[in-house]
Amino acid sequence: MTTNISPILKSYLPVVEGIAKTFGKNCEVVLHDFSKMDRSIIAIANGHVTGRSIGGPLYESMLKKVLDDNITKDKINYTGKSAEGRVLKSSTMFIRNEKDEVIGCICINFDLSELVVSKRVIDDLIQTQSVKVDKSEDESSNRVNDVLTDIVKNTLEKTGKPVAYMGKEEKVNIVKDLDHQGAFLIKGAIDYVAKVLCVSRYTIYNYLDEIRVDNK
């Protein structure tokens, strides 16, 4: 099958295998030769994704574009479904000869089906609900009033990053922002902010000292 094809197309054969091996079994890579439309597939890796094999034709929609000479540019990251209903993320890159004539294309079809299912599971896992605090609980639990809770929550949301991924400088900036908003005038704020930022109360005091020295 590879002996009668254009040297340009032949040079893409290692690319087909390389991409497929890089992205795994859910990534189908297909090389088409437009000189033989009824059997244009001259190389394919992970053909189980769409159920195709060497000697198969172009998809009907793409075949129509080629026959109508309606090819203007590559088509990247479009979505579709296989005959079996697999959710695909696809890209088609056209291959041209030295005269700038389209002689074939390389297509990538990534099966997203497993990832779509995983995303739904993850979305369910990270979904949370607000829990009302029992006002009758002992004050020694270090709870603070709703005003402080809202200030801290809104300040953290502005960073757009989980506390676990924050460095010292980012935490100092949060404390600085809270200080400007007067959060530390509220009773229990030091302990509450320390707990939220996963540091000790003495660390919060040190941050405040640094901030106030810099402001002098």
Q: What percent of the chain has pLDDT over 70?
A: 85
163, 152, 158: which is closest to 191 by C-alpha?
Answer: 152
Across the range 67-73, mean pLDDT stands at 69
Structure tokens at 104: 């074939």
For 107-122, write each residue's pLDDT tens digit: 999 999 888 888 878 8
- How far is Cα 113 from Cα 119, in angstroms, rounded to an integer? 10
Structure tokens at 73: 């540019």
Query: pLDDT at residue 125 above 70?
Result: yes
For 158-178, write each residue's pLDDT tens digit: 887 788 888 899 999 999 999
Query: What's the domain count of the chain?
Result: 2
Q: What integer pLDDT is reported at residue 135 of this predicted model?
A: 52
Inter-CA distances, 131 with 58, 128, 136, 192, Å: 56, 9, 15, 17
User: Are 162 and 68 within one domain?
Assistant: no
Residue 152 neighbours by CB under 8 Å, 6+ apart? 178, 183, 192, 193, 196
In this prediction, residue 142 has a pLDDT band, given cuts at 50, 70 and 90, of: very low
Q: What percent of the chain has pLDDT over 90?
A: 50
**Within-domain flag for 125:** no
Question: Is-contact 165 174, C-beta < 8 A?
Answer: no
Which of 59, 79, 114 is a domain's end point? 114
In this prediction, residue 52 has a pLDDT band, given cuts at 50, 70 and 90, of: very high
Across the range 62-91, mean pLDDT stands at 78
4-18, 32-46, 49-63, 131-145 — which is least confidently predicted?
131-145
Q: Which domain holds residue 77?
A: 7-114
Q: Which residue has the higher pLDDT, 200 or 146?
A: 200
Q: What is the CATH number of the domain that holds 83?
A: 3.30.450.20
Q: Which residue has the higher pLDDT, 209 or 81?
A: 209
Query: pLDDT at residue 140 above 50?
Result: no
**Within-domain flag for 131:** no
Q: What integer pLDDT is reported at residue 13 of this predicted model?
A: 96
User: Are 101 and 165 within one domain?
Assistant: no
Question: Could you count the other beta carbons within 10 Å of the beta carbon of residue 45?
Answer: 19
Query: Which residues, in sequence order, are bridge partners of residue 90?
Result: 78, 109
User: Are 28 and 109 within one domain?
Assistant: yes
Q: What integer pLDDT is reported at residue 27 of this predicted model?
A: 97
Across the range 41-49, mean pLDDT stands at 96
**Within-domain flag for 132:** no
